[in-house]
Chain A
Amino acid sequence: MSTDEGGMMLSQEETREIVSEIRHALNKGSVAIEALKVIQKYRGWVPDDAIEEVAGLLDMTPAELDSRATFYSLIFRQPVGKHVILICDSVSCWLMGYEDIKKHLIERLGIGMGETTGDGKFTLLPAACLGACDEAPAMMLNETLYTNLTPSRVDEILAKY
């Protein structure tokens, strides 16, 4: 499932940062998640080629590294948009009407959950409780937490990106 973004060798920065993680670790395997985070920091997601190359650096098989990568919900094994929206779908947000927010986002962006807009700008993903239950409903957009959401507030937020 090679894609346009794939087929890249690890960049110098990526290799340097991963090797530095290895140097500070008890063993190579322990930096698996950190190494994947390095790739994701530069590319937004983790393509197959990177899995193979990083596995080589960590002395593990690509399958083993991939089994770790796919376990974690915040390691992306498919391309994501420039901005990732994590919408909290846990119980407090449910009680406070997150379903209206989700519906509004889906209509507004024209995509379903787990999808990316055609212009590559936004990806919409579900998230476990974001720990903002007293200000529900909540979502994260990249690193920023937004709370007390209403459909019109969502529009204001999206306009900023």
Chain B
Amino acid sequence: MIKEKPLTNNIRPGKPPLNVREYEMAGGYQGLRKAISSYEPEEITDLVVRSNLLGRGGGGFSAGRKWSLIPMGEKAPRTKYVIANTDEMEPGSFKDRYLIEGDPHQLVEGMIISGYAIQAEIGYIFLRKDYGRVAEKLQVAITEAYENHYLGRNIMGSGFNFKLSIHISAGRYICGEDTALLDALEGGRGIPRAKPPHTTTVGLWGKPTVVNNAETVCNIPHIVDKGVEWYRSLSHTDEGGTKIYGISGKVNRPGAWELPMGTTMREILEEHAGGMKQGFRFRGALPGGASSHFVTEEHLDTRMDFASMEKAGSRLGTGTIVLLDDSKCPVGMVLNLQQFFCRESCGWCTPCREGLPWIVRTLEAVEQGRGTREDIAMLQSHTSLLGTGNTFCALAPGAMFSLQSALSLFREDFEQHVDLERCPWKT
């Protein structure tokens, strides 16, 4: 069976992305044409619900169900907004860059169809500043889309009006959180908002807003163009579509690949990444970026979809695997992860603002051989003190996933640092 790769079909590594004509020749904007000529907006949402496309930013929430929370009809509050979250700053994640740089029109088309489905007037692609190369290519695609009446007033004669622009942010990981992202778009400090209300009813400027990860949006044209049944058949599991998986670390061919949703970590590691680099042994992995729990060898054959990874005690997250090998110290890796979260905390709520620096200082002590068994117990207690329900947003609980799982899976390594009074990896 030939595996279909709708999201990456047009990507030609090392070459510029398809322009609007080439994209059309490859079947591009057919999804939009079909959406506008054959479906009512609510029918598009229904297709996306039935496709079981789950949020690729790591949340795993049904994109269609999110859309269905948007008030529709003439009495719905206006303006409505649709936003592609391309803040991609989750350590270990590089899938959105690959997708958008490789095929910017696909994201543009996905945004227009998303806008049509919820009857939004305005769309933003929220891009981190460091993705300048992506911004250039996207801007060309947006300009071409306007010139060809895929954007603007009365799109393809349908009466649907939609404006799309890029917003280039100014740093900070927290701005990738849906509601902090809205603050950033409004020109303020990026601090998560209380939920409920959800952005779908009270979002940008207090209006109904859908925020979807860029990879999620890229799936939309294909669902509309080729149908729900085809889309679901792409997956190994109940969760629809393909997934952009990636691996970084000491493997022979680090990279990103579009594979059926539910591909195992072993297949990704051995077949696509060419296995471990010679001389290095697999010790563990974060399956989906920094905000996921370590898994070890016993989970190499677990299907990498949202439900299966959760059952395995971790998360699919962004689906980009960060691989720990035996040449690197697990305590050092966790320290690096916690330093990141500590620096990126917005400082709004106390457990995150005060707890993360405490964790970093304690981990530093342990890593440098100055730690005690009590320190390890203290770290353990923080994994629940900063856990889900005790903080304002998901940043600190996300940070605790790697710490908590490392304390259980690599306990001996932590204790060895205390007993030897040094890091065993340092001579």
* Interfacial residues, chain A to chain B (CB-CB below 8 A): 26, 29-34, 36-37, 67-68, 71-75, 86, 89-92, 94-96, 126-136, 140, 143, 145
Contact = CB atoms under 8 A, between A and B. Distances in A.
- Which residue of A67, A132, A133 has the most chain B CB atoms within 10 A of its CB atom? A133
B171 to A, nearest CB: 4
B189 A134 contact: no
Contact of A92 (B132, B184, B249): B249
Closest 10 CB pairs of A and B: A73-B171, A133-B248, A90-B91, A72-B170, A74-B171, A134-B254, A92-B248, A30-B187, A32-B187, A129-B91
A33 B187 contact: yes
A128 B290 CA distance: 12
Contacts of A72: 169-172, 190
Contact of B340 (A32, A75, A91, A134): A91
Given A90-B290, A132-B94, A71 B189 contact: yes
Given A92-B249, A92-B322, 12 more contacts: A29-B188, A30-B185, A30-B186, A33-B169, A91-B286, A94-B332, A94-B336, A131-B131, A133-B248, A134-B246, A134-B247, A136-B254
Given A71-B190, A145-B133, A91 B320 contact: no
B344 interface: yes
Contact of A133 (B93, B128, B332): B93
Interface string B309-326: 000000000001011110
Interface in B340-368: 340, 343-344, 346
Given A74-B170, A90-B91, A95-B249, A131 B187 contact: no
Contacts of B249: 92, 95-96
B331 to A, nearest CB: 12
Contact of B324 (A73, A74, A95): A95
Nearest to A28: B187
A95 B190 contact: no
A67 B91 contact: no
A95 B333 contact: yes
Prevailing SS type, chain A contact patch:
mixed
A96 B254 CA distance: 11
B328 A73 contact: no
B21 interface: no
Most buried by A among B94, B169, B325, B343: B94
27 contacts: A29-B187, A32-B187, A68-B187, A71-B346, A72-B172, A72-B190, A73-B170, A73-B172, A74-B171, A90-B91, A90-B340, A91-B286, A91-B337, A92-B92, A94-B332, A94-B336, A95-B248, A95-B249, A96-B250, A128-B91, A128-B171, A131-B93, A131-B94, A133-B246, A134-B246, A134-B255, A136-B254
Contact of A129 (B93, B186, B190): B93
Contact of B254 (A67, A90, A128, A135): A135
Interface residues of B, number: 53
Contacts of A36: 170
A10 to B, nearest CB: 18
Given A30-B186, A131-B130, A134-B247, A37 B337 contact: no
B187 A92 contact: no
Nearest to B205: A26
B320 A133 contact: yes
Contacts of B128: 131
B396 interface: no
Contacts of A130: 130
A6 B418 CA distance: 51
A39 B172 CA distance: 20
B15 to A, nearest CB: 18
B97 interface: yes
Nearest to B97: A131
A133 B254 contact: yes
B173 interface: yes
A33 B129 CA distance: 12
A127 B91 CA distance: 11
A79 B247 CA distance: 38
Contacts of B305: none
Nearest to A29: B187
B89 interface: yes
Nearest to B96: A131
Contacts of B171: 72-75, 128
B88 interface: yes
Contacts of A67: 189
Contacts of B89: 128-129, 131
B170 A75 contact: yes
B188 A32 contact: yes
B187 A95 contact: no
A136 B248 contact: yes
A144 B295 CA distance: 35
B248 A143 contact: no
- The CB with the most chain B CB atoms within 10 A, among A90, A130, A132, is that of A90
A80 to B, nearest CB: 14
A119 to B, nearest CB: 25
A95 B324 CA distance: 7
Contacts of B290: 90-91, 129
B256 interface: yes
Nearest to B344: A128
A16 B130 CA distance: 26
Contacts of A73: 170-172
